[in-house]
Amino acid sequence: MIPDRFAAGVACFLLGILVAGCSSPTGPAVDREAEKRKSFTREELPGPQWQEVEIVLPAYPREEDLVEVEISGPKTFAFLVDTNSVSVGDDGVVRYSLIARSPAGAENVSFEGMRCEMNEYKAYAFGSKDRTWSRVSGDSWLPIRDQRTNNHRFALARYYFCPYSVPQSSSEKAVAALKHGLPHPSGR
């Protein structure tokens, strides 16, 4: 008799595990990627807190200082960076002026920063028609995503300013990477 009860108990136990493993959660959906990003933010790590340096807006971009950003995939704009505005801050942020130019010649001008370690960017200011800057209010960093079209920020981060999620060691190296263009599959 004991062996039958033991076998029945083991069967019930295993059935309970099987049923529990097959049941679906009843709580709200969880964004696992957001949870991972939140759990690995530098601000929550022990030790000194990350502090952004004070931002000084650069001179407004001049045509002769622009280099077009080579990107892969479709694009509806030409993206150009003002080489005189590129800087690598003590805070690890690469800052630059970016011009998005439509085929008809319309332009959007911005001064932005990339936080390489966190794969984030933010705009500090936008250009006006009178060639002056208008500062952006707010302080939010946004994720850099690999997009289907107009993938300029992803290309800037991956190939030019933040290879391997590490900022270039100097503005000269960042500008040299821009002028060199996208790496080719042949390993050019």
Residues 43, 51: Cα–Cα separation, whole Å: 9
Q: Does residue 85 lie within any of the structural domains?
A: yes
Which residue has 């001064």 as its token pair?
111
Count of alpha carbons within 13 Å of 169, Cβ hemisphere only? 0
Global pTM value: 0.71
Number of domains into which the chain is organized: 1
pLDDT tens-place values along the chain, 188 residues long = 455 655 555 454 544 444 444 444 444 555 555 555 554 544 455 567 888 999 999 999 999 999 999 887 788 899 999 999 999 999 999 999 999 999 999 999 999 999 999 999 999 999 999 999 999 987 789 999 988 888 899 999 999 999 999 999 999 999 999 998 766 443 44
Look at residue 94 and tell me if it is in a domain.
yes
Residue that the structure tokens 């108990």 belong to = 9
* Separation CA 124–CA 55 (nearest Å): 8
Spatial separation of the C-alpha atoms in residues 117 and 60, rounded to whole Å: 27
* Residue 6, domain member (yes or no): no
Question: Whose structure tokens read 């964004």?
Answer: 31
Beta bridge partners of 135: 125
> Per the domain annotation, does 106 fall within a domain?
yes
Domain residues for 134? 63-180
